[in-house]
């Protein structure tokens, strides 16, 4: 961002210890952070659960969903609320308009220079995945959608409607929902006129869930110019939003 960082989810390997987490954080230019947690599963927020609060102390503004169950998530949420006060937005899916998941009591629209950042809030159900938050960053020529662990139907039937399509030549990039698990999308919507460029799957090597599913990778290989998986990279996957 112009004067800081926006961090959407901050997971890491379940077995990383505090020293390894500190190494990760020291290598990143993270400062004055707007932190958005898509949902309260540990693999989406583990980097902030360290005794010395290195990352938490960099947070200037936080947004996260109200549906949480573990004692760890409740402890971290309580800390953020106490630390940030009115700079912490706890989003309740129950307060969203079902016909437009972006309509909340407080509008969630952030202009950062030429970028537009929109939030999509899931349904009011007990599942932390489906009730979570997704994020779309749009520029004049590109869009990047970060989907958390929403299922494919949420992304391709609902969230996709809210992309700011200022130009028909805009490139569309997506972090594939739920680590490439779940059901594969049936098709790309017929109204969708953006150029499907990069699909990224955040997935660990030899994970016990069998992610990504073959049907999911086949869909994204068919419809996107490039499919990238974190399990195949030894460095960051970078997408430049011009």
DSSP states along 33-79: EEEE-SSS-GGGTGGG--TT-TTGGGEEEEEEES---SHHHHHHHHH
% of the chain with per-residue pLDDT over 90: 43
**Residue 15 pLDDT exceeds 60:** yes
Query: Which residue, 167, 175, 230, 165, is CA-closest to 197?
Result: 175
Is residue 26 within a helix (H) or strand (E), and if so which, with residue range?
Answer: helix 18-26
Distances (CA, A) of 101 to 94, 105, 107: 10, 12, 11
Handedness of CA 149, 75, 11, 25 (dihedral sign): positive
CB 148 within 8 A of CB 36: no
State pLDDT tens for residues 95-124.
876 655 655 545 455 555 556 778 888 888
User: Quick one: DSSP state of residue 213?
Assistant: P
Mean pLDDT, range 6-32, rounded to an integer: 85
Query: Which residue, 173, 115, 175, 114, is CA-closest to 144?
Result: 173
Q: What is the token pair recorded at 178? A: 């739920």
Q: Which is higher by pLDDT, 30 or 181?
A: 181
**Residue 201 pLDDT exceeds 80:** yes
State pLDDT tens for residues 134-170.
988 888 888 899 999 999 988 998 888 777 655 457 8
Q: Which is higher by pLDDT, 159 or 226?
A: 226
Looking at residue 175, its pLDDT comes to 96
Look at the block and give the residue holding tokens 């912490």.
88
Mean pLDDT, range 213-226, rounded to an integer: 96
Mean pLDDT computed over every residue of the chain:
86
């Amino acid at each position: 961002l112009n004067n800081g960082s926006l961090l959407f989810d901050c997971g890491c390997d379940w077995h990383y210890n505090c020293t390894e987490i500190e190494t990760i954080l020291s290598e990143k230019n993270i400062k004055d952070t707007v932190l958005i947690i898509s949902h309260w599963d540990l693999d989406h927020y583990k980097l902030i659960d360290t005794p010395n609060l290195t990352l938490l102390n960099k947070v200037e503004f936080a947004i996260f969903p109200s549906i949480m169950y573990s004692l760890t998530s409740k402890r971290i949420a309580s800390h953020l609320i106490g630390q940030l006060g009115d700079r912490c937005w706890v989003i309740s899916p129950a307060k969203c308009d079902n016909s437009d998941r972006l309509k909340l009591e407080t509008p969630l629209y952030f202009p950062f220079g030429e970028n537009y950042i929109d939030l999509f809030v899931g349904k009011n159900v007990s599942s932390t995945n489906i009730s979570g938050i997704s994020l779309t960053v749009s520029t004049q020529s590109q869009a990047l959608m970060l989907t958390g662990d929403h299922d494919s139907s949420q992304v391709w039937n609902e969230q996709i409607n809210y992309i700011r399509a200022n130009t028909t030549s805009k490139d569309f990039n997506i972090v594939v929902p739920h680590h490439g698990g779940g059901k594969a999308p049936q098709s790309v919507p017929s109204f969708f006129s953006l150029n499907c460029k990069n699909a990224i799957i955040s997935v660990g090597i030899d994970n016990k869930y069998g992610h990504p599913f073959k049907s999911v990778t086949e869909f994204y290989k068919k419809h996107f110019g490039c499919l990238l998986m974190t399990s195949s990279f030894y460095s960051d996957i970078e997408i430049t939003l011009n």
